[in-house]
Structure 1
Amino acid sequence: MSAVLWKATLSGHLISAGLSPSTSLEPPVIKQFMLALVLAPIHLLAPAADSWPECRHDPTITERFLPVELINGEPLPATDVLQLVAIDKHYSFVAYYPSGEPPFNGETTLKGPIEQRRADGRVVQSYERTVPAATERMAITDNGQAMGRIFDERIGLISNEGKYPVGLWKQGETRHFNTVFHTARGDGNSSTSITMEKLSCEFEGISGAYAIRWRVDSGRRGDYGYVFAPGRGLVQVIVYKRAGSRPS
């Protein structure tokens, strides 16, 4: 590198480090300069918090019935009904991190319906769901407001978890669920909530998708965004605060 080019390059780096190009390069200054060189690439590589694909909101939809088919990606039913149709599918999704971590390409599966005994002894229809970290069984909550785990191989049986909304919902509303985890060490309680951020939105050209915010408000607090699209099921996860090892 020529002396002129080297001087111009050095001047540019000094300015980036918040130093004057005429600064004398004494040891403390060199330390500040080298620290700026190390930190600059980290800043440049961190994606903006809104760098993931947007689900464009349709504000004209203020109330809507959400069938299970929005979760499993099957054709939407002709009437407002909650049902677990036969399914055996793989779904690819991308998880994004506002903190700047690289996106995570994940896959989940749904299979069923499969009979599963609940903590209260009743046998219900469920979907077996595999995620990057575990195998679960999911069913419709007793109040018909959501689908949630009733069994997780990492935990055991689970009562009244609401994670993905189904049934009649309104734009912007938040619903809370008091969940009980029946573990080998005894029962544990957790409070979770679902907020309907976009009751109807368009995702990658697909209209009729929806976007939610799911929060764990106690215990291992977590904060996630999910987007489900007709014909595809789960398409996007946004990890605002991670409660476990991988998004699910």
Structure 2
Amino acid sequence: MKIYTRKNKSKVPYFAIRRNGDGLGRVYDSRSNKIYEDGIKFPLGQWRQGETGRFSYTCWKKGRPYGRTVQITMEKIDFTHNGIPHALCYRWIANGGNKRGLDMLYTYAPGIGNTEIKYKD
């Protein structure tokens, strides 16, 4: 398994491609000291605008496992965002999105990464 890191000030999450290749997800997050087993944060592969995927995985905190369900919906595909072509916008909802940080709208631009992150409240 190849691990990718993303350093952002004091937080250092580690990411890996899911076993079946359908997404990139955290495997560890230093902020909460959580371990994620086959998590998903960013969709990979062929998607259509309006398509929704549902995923389940296990998280570990303080040595205790708990389940997480995630729903990803492609809101907008292949548009120009801030002058960058081929951007995409997707909604990521975890465990029904009933807490802040569990219902997010991401805009991704190729060569840059996530350029906008909006919390749904």
What TM-score, normalized to structure 2? 0.86
Decide which of 154, 157, 166 is 2:35's aligned counterpart. Answer: 157
Q: Percent of counterpart pairs with the same letter?
A: 30
Separation in 1, partners of 2:33, 2:98: 13
Q: Tell me if the contact between 1:190 and 1:218 (Cα under 8 Å) persists in the aligned partners.
A: no
Structure 1 runs (4+) deviating above 3 angstroms are 218-221
Higher strand share: 2
What TM-score, normalized to structure 1? 0.44
Separation in 1, partners of 2:90, 2:59: 23
Structure 1 residue 130 corresponds to structure 2 residue 24: no
Q: Tell me if the contact between 1:190 and 1:219 (Cα under 8 Å) persists in the aligned partners.
A: no
Q: Tell me if the contact between 2:56 and 2:67 (Cα under 8 Å) persists in the aligned partners.
A: yes
Structure 1 residue 224 corresponds to structure 2 residue 104: yes
Decide which of 236, 242, 245 is 2:116's aligned counterpart. Answer: 236
Decide which of 66, 69, 91 is 1:191's aligned counterpart. Answer: 69
Q: Tell me if the contact between 2:37 and 2:58 (Cα under 8 Å) persists in the aligned partners.
A: yes
Q: Specify every segment of 5 or more residues in structure 1 that has no aligned partner in the other structure, as ranges.
A: 1-123, 242-248
What's the CA shift string for 1:37-70, capped at 9, x where partnerless? xxxxxxxxxxxxxxxxxxxxxxxxxxxxxxxxxx
DSSP-derived class of the 2:21 partner: coil
What's the CA shift string for 1:203-236, capped at 9, x where partnerless? 0122101000011125864211111112221111
DSSP-derived class of the 2:2 partner: strand
Q: Tell me if the contact between 2:97 and 2:103 (Cα under 8 Å) persists in the aligned partners.
A: no
- What does residue 176 of structure 1 align with? 54
Separation in 1, partners of 2:21, 2:6: 19
CA RMSD of aligned residues (A): 1.9
